[in-house]
């Protein structure tokens, strides 16, 4: 009796443990994915300001010119009091005694900088050289940060000498108490919507627009295209090689030392760190056989192809081995040559498994970073035409996510681009894996009744 | 000029001093026998007696197994088939095979039947349709599958699948059909259908059937060969083998005293 109840307890415990670990895994996935997806979604759906519409019209020629011009005019009208107050204040300052004048002038310069960042260059001033300074805040969420910088300035509180200075926010209006600029701050706070006209939009151009001025404006076309080229190239190289190698190993290779050596090499290669593949790609494809003068999509594709080759071979091998031996016998007994039996019976029957392997390695190729750092990826670049992939490097999602998060000059200002890229990559890989499942289910249903 | 009677009695297959080894182990010892055209010849004997090995030697399916060595002569219409110059593909088209476990391809019924024709390069849709129907009719399957020709063959019942395999084998119009225990995985009703079918097919084809079922051998075959431990013990007309066998061994096996 007791052994039976022990068995039952153990059984329950095991079931519980299994369920618990599955739940834990799902929870971890949610904790990671949900914030990424939500924040990444913000790259596509957000409240755009009139500055964004103006930028889109100027740089990408999208949008209704007449409507945008009307809105720009309306916004300019709302901004008029700001510039009027500034003009009046500047005249007022000239009449003041020198020390006070100098101080207020410098304060005013800081204020103007904050205002330019919010609204763009003041009317009547010369066009700034940097593209990023030619427009005010594109996104309402960023605009609110910029409004904060107009209304408040950072200062340090040194009153407690035992501690480091503490960062505090001081209302900027204090500096202009009693001057004609005092009402400006209330005006900016209350009329910000009239000056920027925020509106919800879906910005599909995030995928199709080329970034301008290092991702300050526009989308991620070059990165998406780069990832597409790299993945496609890797598949073009690896799929035929992988499937043929698997056919050789399953159907033709005899059991001798050479073939078992090949098999263990394939298994070992599957476990080699991807950075090693990157180094190999640089050393072999670029420096030794010179497929291109320097980094190029071609070299990157070959390296990625090499990286996924072992996975592909193993998946195809498994799929081919799972085909019942009787199919081959039947084909041969009907007068098929071994090769014919493979192409007409064995490969079609193994296709669901092979396709799953292909799609999963496609996801891997799309997301790998280390191999392309050495062989194909650049931080900033234009979208490539097909022919240029033979010689030119490209930005790609995986590498540029890292690059934009660590090496960009204004990391904080382009958070939405970073998350948008991660979102796109995660979605791409999820989609590929999902399609693997669907393809497999469909083909299996077609083959098995 | 041969008369029809003579042609009928000609040996289509002539096996002489056949020895087959699996690596070090010899499976078939000095077997010699002749198969007569358009008759059903049954190979019987206990498991491991080499009868399936001999059967597979006739269309060289033993080539697929590593370390198999075949010695002696097998002549098909007077032509040595173990000659390295022989085109195995051509040989297998002339000597079809039906396996113990039915093995239709995971394709439609129609595609299964025309498979041998397609890989032989026949493209004409009309010809394929015609042969498919003829083969399925010959295999007594047409009426059951004519409305589901393009459904998966794996949806058929076990007996139907085996008849489909027979239809597939006869679609390439072989001279000889080898059957390796074709009913061993089937229920009695399906077995009867296959046996009836064998009775029909003997009019056009030479059939060699390996079976463990004595009654089946007695029912369907004209000649019977009894093998034991790789040797041919007795070979003769089925009636004679089953009523008054010459060898004590054969009698013991047939009456169920061993095996």
Chain-chain contact of B97 with A447 (C-beta, under 8 angstroms):
no
Q: State the distance between the two ends of chain B, measured CA to CA, in whole angstroms.
A: 46
Of B93, B101, B154, the CB nearest to A335: B93
Strand, coil or helix: B215: helix
pLDDT of A342 reads 94
**Chain A hits for B92, Cβ within 8 Å:** 332-335
Q: Could you report the per-residue pLDDT of A249-280, keeping only the tens digit for each?
A: 998 888 889 999 999 999 999 899 999 999 99
Q: From the CA of B5, how many Å to the nearest CA of chain A? A: 30
Chain-chain contact of B120 with A335 (C-beta, under 8 angstroms):
yes
CB B223 within 8 A of CB B41: yes
**Chain B hits for A335, Cβ within 8 Å:** 89-90, 92-93, 116, 119-120, 172
Q: Which two tokens stand for residue B169?
A: 């084998």
User: How confident is the prediction along chain B (259 residues), in pLDDT tens digits per residue?
Assistant: 444 445 445 788 999 999 999 989 999 999 999 999 889 999 999 888 889 999 999 999 988 888 899 999 999 988 899 888 889 999 999 999 999 888 999 899 999 999 999 998 888 999 999 999 999 998 889 999 999 999 989 989 988 999 999 999 999 999 999 999 998 888 888 899 889 999 989 889 999 999 988 889 999 999 999 999 999 999 999 999 999 888 888 888 888 877 5
What is the pTM (predicted TM-score) of this model? Answer: 0.83
Flag whether residue A106 sits within 8 Å of chain B, measured between CB atoms: no
Of A333, A345, A448, the CB nearest to B59: A333
Q: Which residues contact A216 (CB under 8 A, 6 or more apart)?
A: A131, A132, A410, A413, A414
Which helix H or strand E contains A359, and what residues bound it? Answer: helix A347-367
The interface predicted TM-score of the complex, written ipTM, equals 0.88
CB A172 within 8 A of CB A111: yes
Burial B79-117, CB ≥16 within 10 A → b, else e: eebeeeeeebbebbbbbbbbbbbbbbbbbbbbbbbbbbb
Strand, coil or helix: A89: helix
CB A43 within 8 A of CB A423: yes
Chain-chain contact of B103 with A326 (C-beta, under 8 angstroms):
yes
Q: Which two tokens stand for residue A321?
A: 């081995």
Nearest CA in chain A to B101: A326
Q: From the CA of A245, how many Å to the nearest CA of chain B? A: 20
Give the whole-angstrom CA distance, residue B103 versus residue B135: 17
**Chain B hits for A325, Cβ within 8 Å:** none
Give the whole-angstrom CA distance, residue A154 versus residue A165: 12
Q: Could you report the per-residue pLDDT of B47-73, keeping only the tens digit for each?
A: 888 899 999 999 999 888 888 999 999
CB B152 within 8 A of CB B171: no
Give the whole-angstrom CA distance, residue B142 versus residue B147: 9
Give the whole-angstrom CA distance, residue A206 versus residue A210: 8
Residue pairs between chains A and B whose CB atoms are closer than 8 Å: 73
What domains does chain B contain, in order, with CATH numbers?
A: 4-102+176-254 (3.40.50.300)
Q: Count of CB atoms within 10 A of residue B19's CB?
A: 15
CB B82 within 8 A of CB B63: no
Give the whole-angstrom CA distance, residue A45 versus residue A50: 15
Chain-chain contact of A447 with B64 (C-beta, under 8 angstroms):
no
Nearest CA in chain B to A326: B103
Give the whole-angstrom CA distance, residue A446 versus residue A97: 90
Flag whether residue A109 sits within 8 Å of chain B, measured between CB atoms: no
**Chain B hits for A344, Cβ within 8 Å:** 115, 118-119
**Chain A hits for B154, Cβ within 8 Å:** 447-449
Q: Which residues contact A56 (CB under 8 A, 6 or more apart)?
A: A62, A63, A205
Q: Could you report the per-residue pLDDT of A46-59, keeping only the tens digit for each?
A: 999 999 999 999 99
Give the whole-angstrom CA distance, residue B142 versus residue B171: 13
pLDDT of A447 reads 64
Give the whole-angstrom CA distance, residue B127 versus residue A64: 64
Flag whether residue A256 sits within 8 Å of chain B, measured between CB atoms: no
Nearest to A125 by CA among A166, A72, A154, A83: A83
Can you list the residues of chain A whose pLDDT is less than 50?
449
Flag whether residue A336 sits within 8 Å of chain B, measured between CB atoms: yes
**Chain A hits for B177, Cβ within 8 Å:** none
Q: Could you report the per-residue pLDDT of A397-446, keeping only the tens digit for each?
A: 999 999 999 988 888 889 999 999 999 999 998 888 888 888 888 877 76
Give the whole-angstrom CA distance, residue B23 versus residue B66: 8
**Number of residues assigned to chain A:** 449
- How far CA A153 is from CA of A72, A104, A196, A287, B51, in Å, comes to 28, 15, 22, 53, 98
HSE (CB half, 13 Å, CA atoms) of A443? 16
From the CA atom positions of chain B, what is the Rg in Å?
18
Flag whether residue A347 sits within 8 Å of chain B, measured between CB atoms: no
Q: From the CA of A447, how many Å to the nearest CA of chain B? A: 5
Give the whole-angstrom CA distance, residue A101 versus residue B189: 112
What domains does chain A contain, in order, with CATH numbers?
A: 48-201 (no CATH), 221-447 (1.10.3720.10)
**Chain A hits for B155, Cβ within 8 Å:** 449
Chain-chain contact of A335 with B116 (C-beta, under 8 angstroms):
yes
Chain-chain contact of B106 with A448 (C-beta, under 8 angstroms):
yes
| Paired strand residues for A217 | A212
HSE (CB half, 13 Å, CA atoms) of A143? 26
Flag whether residue A350 sits within 8 Å of chain B, measured between CB atoms: no
Chain-chain contact of B154 with A449 (C-beta, under 8 angstroms):
yes
pLDDT of B20 reads 93
Q: From the CA of A250, how many Å to the nearest CA of chain B? A: 14
Chain-chain contact of B105 with A349 (C-beta, under 8 angstroms):
yes
Q: Count of CB atoms within 10 A of residue A81's CB?
A: 15
Flag whether residue A351 sits within 8 Å of chain B, measured between CB atoms: no
Q: From the CA of A235, how many Å to the nearest CA of chain B? A: 28
Strand, coil or helix: A147: helix
């Amino acid at each position: 009796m007791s052994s039976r109840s022990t068995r039952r307890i153990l059984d329950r415990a095991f079931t519980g443990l299994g369920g618990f670990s599955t739940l834990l895994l799902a929870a971890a996935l949610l904790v990671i994915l949900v914030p990424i997806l939500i924040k990444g979604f913000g790259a596509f759906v957000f409240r755009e300001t009139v500055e964004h519409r103006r930028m889109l019209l100027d740089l990408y020629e999208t949008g209704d010119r007449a409507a945008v011009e009307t809105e720009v005019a309306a916004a300019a009208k709302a901004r008029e009091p700001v510039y009027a107050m500034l003009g009046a204040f500047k005249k007022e300052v000239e009449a003041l005694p020198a020390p006070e004048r100098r101080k207020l002038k410098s304060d005013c310069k800081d204020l103007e900088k904050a205002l330019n960042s919010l609204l763009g260059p003041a009317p009547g001033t010369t066009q700034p050289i940097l593209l990023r300074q030619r427009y005010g805040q594109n996104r309402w969420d960023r605009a609110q940060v910029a409004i904060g910088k107009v209304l408040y300035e950072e200062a340090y509180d040194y009153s407690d000498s035992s501690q480091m200075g503490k960062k505090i926010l001081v209302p900027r209006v204090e500096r202009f108490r009693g001057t004609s600029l005092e009402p400006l701050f209330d005006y900016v706070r209350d009329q910000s919507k009239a000056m920027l006209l925020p509106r919800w939009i879906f910005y599909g151009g995030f995928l199709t627009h080329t970034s301008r001025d290092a991702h300050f404006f526009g989308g991620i076309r070059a990165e998406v295209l780069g990832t597409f080229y790299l993945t496609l190239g890797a598949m073009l190289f690896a799929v035929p090689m992988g499937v043929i190698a698997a056919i050789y190993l399953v159907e033709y290779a005899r059991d001798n030392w050479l073939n078992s050596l090949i098999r263990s090499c394939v298994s070992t290669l599957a476990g080699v760190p991807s950075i090693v593949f990157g180094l190999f790609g640089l050393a072999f494809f670029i420096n030794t056989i010179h497929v291109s003068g320097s980094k190029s999509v071609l070299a990157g594709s070959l390296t990625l192809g090499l990286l996924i080759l072992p996975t592909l071979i193993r998946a195809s091998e498994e799929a081919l081995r799972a085909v019942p031996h009787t199919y081959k016998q039947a084909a041969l007994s009907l007068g098929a040559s071994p090769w014919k039996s493979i192409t007409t019976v064995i490969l079609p029957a193994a296709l669901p498994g092979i396709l799953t392997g292909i799609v999963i390695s496609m996801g891997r190729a799309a997301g790998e970073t280390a191999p392309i750092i050495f062989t194909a990826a650049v931080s900033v670049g234009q979208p490539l035409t097909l022919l240029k992939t033979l010689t030119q490097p490209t930005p790609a999602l995986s590498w540029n996510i890292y690059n934009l998060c660590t090496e960009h000059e204004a990391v904080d200002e382009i958070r939405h681009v970073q998350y948008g890229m991660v979102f796109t990559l995660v979605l791409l890989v999820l989609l590929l894996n999902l399609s693997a499942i669907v393809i497999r289910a469909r083909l299996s249903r077609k083959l098995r009744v | 000029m041969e008369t029809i009677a003579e042609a009928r009695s000609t040996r289509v297959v002539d096996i002489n001093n056949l020895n087959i080894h699996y690596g070090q182990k010899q499976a078939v010892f000095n077997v010699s026998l002749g198969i007569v055209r358009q008759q059903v010849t049954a190979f019987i004997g206990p498991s491991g007696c080499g009868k399936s090995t001999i059967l597979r030697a006739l269309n060289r399916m033993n080539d697929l197994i590593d370390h198999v060595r075949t010695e002696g002569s097998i002549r098909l219409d007077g032509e040595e088939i173990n000659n390295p110059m022989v085109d195995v593909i051509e040989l297998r088209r002339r000597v079809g095979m039906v396996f113990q476990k039915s093995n239709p391809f995971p394709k439609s019924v129609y595609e299964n039947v025309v498979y041998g024709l397609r890989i032989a390069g026949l493209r004409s849709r009309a010809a394929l349709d015609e042969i498919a129907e003829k083969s399925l009719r010959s295999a007594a399957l047409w009426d059951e599958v004519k409305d589901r020709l393009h459904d998966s063959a794996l949806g058929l019942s076990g007996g139907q699948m085996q008849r489909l395999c027979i239809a597939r084998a006869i679609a390439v119009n072989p001279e000889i059909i080898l059957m390796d225990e074709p009913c061993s995985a089937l229920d009695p009703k399906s077995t009867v259908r296959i046996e009836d079918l064998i009775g029909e097919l003997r009019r056009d084809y030479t059939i060699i059937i390996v079976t463990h079922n004595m009654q089946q051998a007695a029912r369907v075959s004209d000649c019977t060969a009894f093998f034991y431990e790789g040797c041919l013990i007795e070979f003769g007309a089925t009636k004679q083998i089953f009523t008054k066998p010459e060898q004590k061994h054969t009698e013991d096996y047939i009456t169920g005293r061993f095996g």
